[in-house]
Amino acid sequence: MADTRAIEAVCNAVVDVLRDSYDPAQLDQDLEFRVYTASNFPQHMTAGVSLFLYRIFVDGSHRIPGGRRLPGGGRADAQLPLDLHFLLTTWGKDASTQYSIAGWMMRALDDTPVLPSGLLNRRTPSVFRDDEAVEIVAGEIATEDLMRLWELIGPGSYQLSVPYVARNVWIESKQLEPGGALVQERDFRVES
């Protein structure tokens, strides 16, 4: 399971997928790819794609007691399963450019729906174990919620955005459950 830097690593990996997939000849311009916070929107980029993480949801349906078995017999505490909800916003000098970027961006993410540990650990090493991966799927956000989100970012600042969800982000606890002693002897008794 990943450590507490998993959220940062996933956001950076999504941006890296887009950056790695981009061919400047395809859209005939240079694009930027960055992770944004709300404070970045007023001075946004000229052309490119920004990732804005707007919600982190604890996935209760995957919450399981007791973590993985550790060497020595103990168990790690329960993993924390998260879904990361983010908006990918396209930036361009005109509507046509934004639409072209949006189509290319959606195709690139659909071509790479699973982020392997090598990509997740590229900028932040040793966050995910070698056998871990994170799934990226198209998300949903109600139009009213999307407009409310843009109003909070800045009145009249709406830009074309596509919601996505990073699923199966499991953060492992550093606390250990106490392990019992190993069984030394079995005693079977039959009583009447």
**Interval 75-93 mean pLDDT:** 87
Does the CA dihedral 90-93-94-99 come out positive or negative? negative
Q: Which of 87, 113, 89 is nearest to 102 (CA)?
A: 89
Classify residue 189: in a domain, yes or no.
no
Q: What pLDDT does residue 187 have?
A: 74
For residue 107, is pLDDT > 90?
A: yes
59 assigned to some structural domain: yes
| Mean pLDDT estimate for the chain | 87
For residues 47 and 104, give the distance between their C-alpha atoms in angstroms, rounded to a whole number.
13
Q: Is residue 138 part of a domain?
A: yes
Looking up residue 150, the CATH number of its domain turns out to be: 3.30.2000.10
> Tell me: the pLDDT tens digits for 163-186?
999 998 999 877 655 555 666 677
Residue 65 or residue 32, greater confidence: 32
pLDDT, tens only, 140-157: 999 899 888 888 888 778
Tell me, what's the pLDDT at 31?
95
Distances (CA, A) of 114 to 10, 12, 131, 150, 169: 11, 14, 12, 28, 12
pLDDT score, position 157: 81
CA distance linking residue 141 with residue 120, whole number of Å: 25
26 lies in some domain: yes
Tell me the CA distances in angstroms from 50 to 58, 68, 92, 148, one per residue in order: 24, 36, 11, 19
Per-residue pLDDT at 189:
77
Q: Which domain holds residue 87?
A: 6-69+76-175
Model pLDDT, residue 185:
75
pLDDT, position 173: 76
Q: For residue 133, is it within any domain?
A: yes
Contacts of 2 (CB under 8 A, 6+ apart): 9, 120, 127, 128, 129, 132, 169, 170, 171, 172
DSSP 62: G
Residue-level pLDDT at 67: 58
pLDDT at position 12 over 80: yes
What are the tens digits of pLDDT across the range 15-32? 999 999 999 888 888 999
Q: Total domain count for the chain? A: 1
Q: Residues 107-127: what's their mean pLDDT?
A: 95
Tell me the C-alpha distance between 89 and 138, whole Å.
14
Please check whether residue 186 lies inside any domain of the structure.
no
